[in-house]
Amino acid sequence: MLLFSQGSPTTNLSDEDLSMGLNSALAQLGERRKVLLVPPDFSRFYSKAGPLACSAAAYYQDNLADVLPALGTHFPMTDDQLERMYPTVPRDRIRPHRWREDVVTIGEVSADFVSQATEGVWNRPWPAQLNKLVWEGGHDLILSIGQAVPHEVIGVANGNKNLFVGTGGEAGINESHYIGSVYGTERMMGRTDTCLRRILNHAEDTFCGHLPIIYAQTVIEADTSGDLVTRGLFVGDREAFEAAAELAVEVNFNHLDKELGKVVVFMDPDEFHSTWIGNKGIYRTRMAIADGGELVILAPGVRTFGEDPEIDRMIRKYGYRSSSEVIDFVENNEDLRSNLGAAAHLIHGSPEGRFTVTYCPGHLSRQQIEDVGYQYADIGKMMDRYQPTGRSEGWHTTDDGEQFYFIGNPAMGLWAAKDRLA
């Protein structure tokens, strides 16, 4: 069921277009008296979820009962972030998601189903978990807003991932992330039909049929000049996500003719404060980088590793090692085995020995960066060298003749050399 559908590789939607499209979809639902809004957190600032959430709040007014940002394991949104992203959403309706406390297990996807979906990589039942407010809140509309974009854990983000992961619990989040990482990140990214998506779809179909869930999904493209263009809006049931995901793969998956020897990415300091999120610079580009190549991450806002104290400790203890090393750590260490989401993140952030990662954080020391397995360079010197401000995506040359491929917002897409997709 699609209530609104507009998008193509050449579509350019304004914020007003988004509001009108969403309102036309909501009008088809009829009156709703108790609405739950589930938008993303600040790490999806550029998703256009902000204007959509504000439009939904204006549309429902007093019938908007609750707003639950889909934090997953991320830091709660600050007052400043809420003001910037959701300026007209009433603060007294915003609820925190505490992923270790506020959840309920609504059922299990059987071990047989999980094993079949993952080709035997994972042979345990997967716990489907949701925030209690989603499951028990008695809402007559659950409006889940987000951006469809290539993603390292599930292939293409959003849809029911916004609920099962964004408002999910410790077990469900940890195991879902680990399933995707051991199945193979390269086998997942930029694909709409993945093992984890099948598991989440099965959970939604089996347990959530009575919940009044509607998805509003955007597709955003960063053009070669770095400007963001809204290519689509799709509102409806799961069909809305599937339509958005198809377009996202078309406009966000960048196929390069050859592998890249030197890549420089810039991580916006307003958005990226940890390697937990900032490592999108690694896993969104890893399929484009040649063996023996180098990835330079300009991350002036990065000041920590994890966005949760326990996960931060796991990253500092074990580091970004190869997949085989991390899997061995999991098998032999109870603390990491109890934090499979952290283990998955270590795999996602590993160059697997193929290329080097030179991290340039604004607020972490050389010793801290080198302890987790990366090379370090001074952020000030590297910003001067590569001058990211206003730089377009593509090949550039430094003053002393070094050639590099620049990506100004790796979170908005996925890059791969055609040979690596063969």
Q: In whole angstroms, what is the distance from residue 19 CA to residue 4 CA?
A: 11
Per-residue confidence at 109, pLDDT binned at 50, 70, 90? Answer: very high
Candidate from 20-24, 62-66, 189-193, 259-263 with smallest mean pLDDT: 189-193
* Residue 214 in this model has a pLDDT that exceeds 70: yes
* pLDDT score recorded for residue 382: 97
* Residue 349 in this model has a pLDDT that exceeds 70: yes
* pLDDT score recorded for residue 42: 84
* pLDDT score recorded for residue 224: 65
The tokens for 143 are 């409006």
* Residue 375 in this model has a pLDDT that exceeds 60: yes
Mean pLDDT computed over 253-267: 94
Domain spans, the chain: 2-252, 257-421
Percent of the chain with pLDDT over 90: 82
pLDDT tens for residues 25-62? 999 999 999 999 999 988 888 899 999 999 999 999 99
Candidate from 186-200, 287-301, 370-384 with smallest mean pLDDT: 186-200
Superfamily of domain 2-252: LarA, N-terminal domain (3.40.50.11440)
* Residue 201 in this model has a pLDDT that exceeds 60: yes
- Fold (topology level) of 257-421: 2-enoyl-CoA Hydratase; Chain A, domain 1 (3.90.226)
* Residue 385 in this model has a pLDDT that exceeds 90: yes
* pLDDT score recorded for residue 320: 96
* Residue 380 in this model has a pLDDT that exceeds 90: yes
Rounded to two decimals, the pTM is 0.87
Mean pLDDT taken over the chain: 94
Give the 3-state secondary structure of the chain.
CEEEEEECCCCCCCHHHHHHHHHHHHHHHCCCCCEEEECECHHHHHHCHHHHHHHHHHHHHHHEEEECCECCCCCCCCHHHHHHHCCCCCHHHECCCCCCCCEEEEEEECHHHHHHHCCCCCCCCEEEEEEHHHHHCCCCEEEEEEECEEECCCEEECCCHHHHCCCCCHHHHHHHHHHHHHHHHHHHCCCCCCHHHHHHHHHHHHHCCCCCEEEEEEEEEECCCCCEEEEEEEEECHHHHHHHHHHHHHHHEEEECCCEEEEEEECCCCCCCEHHHHCHHHHCCHHHEEEEEEEEEEECCCCECCCCHHHHHHHHHHCCCCHHHHHHHHHHCHHHHCCHHHHHHHHHCCCCCCCEEEEEECCCCHHHHHHCCCEECCHHHHHHHHCCCCCCCEEEECCCCCEEEEECCHHHCEEEEHHHHC
Mean pLDDT computed over 124-130: 96
Q: In whole angstroms, what is the distance from residue 76 CA to residue 71 CA?
A: 7
